[in-house]
Amino acid sequence: MAQAKSMWQAAEDAEHQQMKELGEKIVTKSLLFHLADGSLPRTNTPVPGAPRKQVLMGTDPRLPPMPEKPTLMDFFKNRFTIGGDQHLMQSANLAQKNGLPEKMVLGCLLHDFAVNGFIRSDHGYWGAQLLEPYVDEEVSWAIRYHQALRFYPDESVGYGYPELYVKLFGEGYRPEPYIERAYEFAKNHKYYMSARMICVNDLYSFDPNVVVTMEQFEDIIGRHFKQPKEGLGNDNTSSSHMWRTIIRPCNAL
Ligand SMILES: [Fe+2]
Ligand SMILES: [Fe+2]
């Protein structure tokens, strides 16, 4: 009995570590969030048969509210970095100055959509998958492959290996084999230069005094992003569930 109690206590303790109470509801965390903290939970949640409070489903009151029919702009404003994402906006601003076609300005605006709004690891692939139903195939293709191309110079367009990457990943960092394969595939593809242009305009060092706002891109989004009338997440595309997860990241199920 004592052993059972201590097991229960251990489960409870672990549960309290894993969950954050919110009023009468318990907020569950996806395993991915635990992995991001470098840990594996000791118990799965919810513990079967254990007396417990209700778990959070639906609107998460800790996060900015989202309208019933969210647009791309709503995701930028309510789910991205507070104040908007200068890396994305500055990159799109540069692309515009460099005379890229409008749809590729949109590509630059969205190229790190996954980094800023969803999952960093394999961000090109996640971003492309999220956006595929709503943008021209050239745009999502370019977003997918910019992830690999960022690691490889192309002197024909003046793109060298980013100094930032030396700082971030260390001297002599070699991308994983799947990235090398993606690069080999991409460099012979008809959309290669579009993905490359994302790299060229991928601006990490910008003047902090220059502030670009999303309003600058409102028209381009309107012309090149197929905003569903039901709202992102409420439509029935291959990535609607991903948008819903961004809206409600801590739904228990
Ligand atoms: Fe990127
Ligand atoms: Fe970027």
Q: What is the pLDDT along the chain (253 residues), one digit of tens a residue?
A: 445 556 556 555 545 544 555 667 888 889 999 999 999 887 765 555 555 678 889 999 999 999 999 999 999 999 987 666 889 999 999 999 999 999 999 999 999 999 989 999 999 999 999 999 999 999 999 999 999 999 999 999 999 999 999 999 999 999 999 999 999 999 999 999 999 999 999 987 777 788 899 999 999 999 999 999 999 999 999 999 999 999 999 999 9
Indicate if 115 and 202 belong to the same structural domain: yes
Query: Would 253 be classed as within a structural domain?
Result: no
Q: Does some domain include residue 200?
A: yes
Question: Which long-range contacts link 155-159 to residues 24+ away (Cβ below 8 Å)?
Answer: 157/193, 157/196, 157/197, 157/200, 158/200, 159/196, 159/199, 159/200
Q: List own/partner pairs for 158-164 with CB under 8 A and 24 or more apart.
A: 158/200, 159/196, 159/199, 159/200, 162/204, 164/204, 164/205
pLDDT value of position 136: 98
Domain that holds residue 217: 72-239
Question: In this structure, are 134 and 229 located in the same domain?
Answer: yes
* 250 in a structural domain: no
**246 alpha carbon – ligand 1 mean position (Å):** 19
- Any long-range contacts for 60-67 (C-beta under 8 Å, 24+ apart)? 60/27, 60/248, 60/249, 60/250, 61/22, 62/22, 62/27, 66/247, 67/231
We report the CATH number of the domain holding residue 166 as 1.10.3210
User: Residue 67: inside a domain, yes or no?
Assistant: no
Domain match, 49 and 92 both: no
On whether residue 140 sits in a domain, the answer given is yes
Domain count of the fold of the chain = 2
**Is 104 in the same domain as 142?**
yes
Same domain? For 11 and 116 the reply is no
Q: Are residues 30 and 151 in the same domain?
A: no
Cα 21 to ligand 2 centre (Å): 35
Burial of 114 (0-12, 13-18, 19+ CB in 10 A): buried
246, part of any domain? no
Instruction: Output the pLDDT for position 58.
Output: 92
- Around ion ligand 2, residues with a beta carbon closer than 5 Å are 112, 202
User: Do 49 and 113 sit in the same domain of this protein?
Assistant: no
How far apart CA 229 and CA 162 sit, in angstroms, is 40
Tell me the CA–centroid distance for residue 55 and ligand 2, in Å: 36
**Cα–Cα distance between 162 and 203 in angstroms, integer?**
10
Ligand nearest to the CA of 205: 2
* Helix-helix angle 102-110:192-200, to 10 degrees: 60
Q: Quick one: CA dihedral 20, 22, 23, 24, positive or negative? A: negative
Is residue 245 a part of any domain in this protein?
A: no
Per-residue pLDDT at 138:
98
Distance CA 48, CA 57 (A): 18
| Cα distance between residue 109 and residue 243, in whole Å | 17
Residue 133's closest CA among 206, 234, 245?
234
- Ligand with minimal distance to 108 CA: 2
Question: Distance, CA 6 to ligand 1 centroid (Å)?
Answer: 47
At a CB cut-off of 8 Å and minimum separation 6, what does 58 contact?
Answer: 248, 251
Output the CA 87–ligand 2 centroid distance in Å. Answer: 7
Say if residue 41 is in the same domain as residue 79.
no
Q: Are residues 182 and 135 in the same domain?
A: yes
- Residue 133 and residue 210 in one domain: yes
Same domain, 231 and 206: yes
47 and 77 inside one domain: no
* pLDDT value of position 52: 64
Last residue of a domain, one of 11, 26, 55: 55
Residue 164, domain member (yes or no): yes
